[in-house]
């Protein structure tokens, strides 16, 4: 009954969006300068582009869900190939114990847990060391190495692993007890090199974390579900991602020249022609930044890291070399990281300008309304699929009103810094220990 009500609401919202879009188009006649008319036309084309992208992803996501329901091959198995779980940790004393405990509670039996302390200055190593040893079919190994960055810590773990499958988990993540077995089953298909899991936010304690929770289920999980239809998920998230070890060695493991090593390694795999899948039910809970400045810090690193990864594979943007998927993925990422934030902020500035010079029009209302309705429809769909709290849909109104705007402004400034070549550091976030 609840599902039916949500589906009807989504349909109603879609109709509402169509009506709003129609009203939006009526403004063209009322604009009296060439500058405003050209600007408006660009906004309209861009709006159509964004709506098409959303609808396509929603459609792909829906199709993928239908395929999953009918896919009888994807059966859970608690026994199978050895999985080495790599946990790179740097100053994670507040969360490392909970993370290890959640990994030891995995129903999948053939597990080797490798904690790599990357030269922490706190008690991370000592806390992790207490868990070292054999526990039935599961074993825990704890290593300590001089600080060298996350990618080096992951590679260190991989080199000391014996499993044929590698699960990379952030030290501030907590996994569902069936996460490993859900991920492992995808590797029966030899073409699959990696599988991404779902990431949910555990500390939904204020408006920033709630808006991020909405962003995660809508922007990340829905998008990945859509990309999974063509087995081309573009980023294996840091909190949960499983890899075929042979594929990782084939692409030379993780590189150390970007600040988004997860995005970079995924792009390397896609560029080599490997397929990347998504498992929505394998869930990792992670801490999100709780303050605006910490959120900007995180997005600054993501934006510059992703741009660095795209730059490394820039050749594929214009020369597919028989790998059209890689080219499409790269263009998509370029759109997400540069074009969308720039145009979004420009459109808002343009609307403010037109309103101030030609009088406040309803243009700004309809523009906001189109995207808010779209966000609400997408959020409803995601809530329906993920089982997240329905109250998150309410936050969609604020999401477009100021959250996206602030993030996009930070992304643009980070992009400028990346092109100018401003020196950057990792920028680790302080954990609150709310896992």
Partner 1 sequence: MNLIGFVSVLILVITLLTIVFGAIAYFMYKIRERKRKAANRTYSYEEALEHEKSEFIYFE
* Site of interaction with partner 1 (CB under 8 A): 292-293, 296-297, 300, 345, 348-349, 351-352, 355, 360-365, 368, 401-402, 405-410, 413, 425, 427
Strand order in the sheet with 165-168: 133-135, 138-144, 111-117, 83-89, 165-168, 241-244, 192-201, 275-286, 173-175
CB of residue 407 to partner 1, shortest distance in Å: 8
CB of residue 192 to partner 1, shortest distance in Å: 39
317 or 345: CB nearest partner 1 = 345
46 or 365: CB nearest partner 1 = 365
CA Rg value for the chain:
22
38 or 401: CB nearest partner 1 = 401
**Separation of alpha carbons 95 and 124, rounded Å:** 9
10 or 295: CB nearest partner 1 = 295
CB of residue 432 to partner 1, shortest distance in Å: 17
User: For 355-364, which contacts have Cβ atoms below 8 Å and span 24 or more sequence positions?
Assistant: 358/31, 358/32, 358/33, 358/36, 361/27, 361/30, 362/23, 362/27, 363/24, 363/27, 363/40
CB of residue 409 to partner 1, shortest distance in Å: 3
274 or 366: CB nearest partner 1 = 366
* Cα end-to-end distance, the chain, whole Å: 33
CB of residue 26 to partner 1, shortest distance in Å: 13
Q: 54 near 378, Cβ under 8 Å?
A: yes
CB of residue 240 to partner 1, shortest distance in Å: 27
137 or 416: CB nearest partner 1 = 416
Burial 404-418 (b: 16+ CB within 10 A, else e): beebbebbbebbebb
**Rounded to the nearest 5 degrees, what angle is found at the Cα of 317, between the Cα atoms of 315 and 322?**
85
């Amino acid at each position: 009954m609840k599902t039916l009500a949500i589906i009807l609401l989504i349909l109603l919202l879609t109709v509402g969006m169509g009506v709003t879009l129609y009203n939006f188009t009526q403004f063209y006649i009322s604009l009296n300068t060439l500058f405003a008319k050209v600007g408006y036309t660009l906004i309209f084309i861009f709006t159509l582009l964004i709506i098409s992208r959303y609808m396509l992803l929603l459609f792909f996501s829906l199709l993928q869900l239908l395929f999953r329901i009918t896919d009888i091959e994807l059966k859970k198995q608690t026994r199978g190939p050895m999985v080495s779980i790599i946990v790179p940790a740097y100053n994670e004393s507040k969360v490392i114990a909970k993370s290890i405990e959640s990994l030891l509670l995995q129903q999948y039996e053939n597990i080797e847990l490798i904690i790599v302390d990357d030269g922490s200055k706190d008690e991370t190593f000592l806390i992790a060391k207490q868990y070292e040893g054999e526990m039935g079919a599961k074993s825990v190994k704890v290593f300590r190495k001089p600080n060298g960055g996350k990618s080096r810590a992951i590679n260190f773990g991989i080199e000391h692993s014996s499993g044929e499958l590698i699960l990379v988990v952030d030290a501030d993540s907590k996994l569902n007890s069936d996460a490993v077995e859900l991920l492992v089953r995808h590797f029966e298909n030899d073409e699959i090199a990696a599988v991404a899991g779902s990431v949910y936010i555990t500390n939904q304690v204020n408006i920033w974390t709630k808006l991020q929770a909405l962003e995660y289920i809508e922007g990340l999980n829905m998008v990945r579900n859509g990309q999974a239809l063509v087995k081309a998920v573009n980023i294996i998230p840091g909190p949960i991602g499983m890899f075929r070890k042979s594929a990782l060695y084939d692409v030379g493991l993780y590189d150390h020249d970007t600040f988004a090593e997860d995005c970079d390694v995924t792009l390397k795999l896609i560029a080599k022609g490997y397929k990347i899948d998504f498992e929505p039910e394998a869930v990792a809970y992670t801490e999100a930044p709780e303050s605006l400045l910490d959120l900007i810090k995180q997005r600054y690193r993501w934006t510059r890291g992703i741009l660095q990864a795209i730059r490394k594979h820039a050749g594929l943007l214009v020369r597919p070399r028989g790998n059209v998927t890689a080219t499409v993925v790269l263009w998509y990422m370029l759109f997400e990281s540069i074009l969308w934030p720039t145009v979004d902020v420009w459109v808002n500035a343009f609307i403010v300008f037109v309103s101030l010079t030609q009088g406040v029009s309803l243009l700004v209302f309809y523009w906001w309304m189109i995207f808010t309705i779209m966000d609400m429809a997408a959020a409803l769909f995601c809530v329906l699929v993920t089982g997240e709290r329905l109250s998150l849909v309410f936050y969609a109104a604020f999401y477009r009103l100021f959250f996206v705007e602030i993030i996009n402004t930070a992304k643009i400034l980070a992009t400028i810094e990346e092109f100018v070549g401003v020196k950057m550091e990792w920028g680790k976030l302080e954990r609150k220990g709310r896992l």
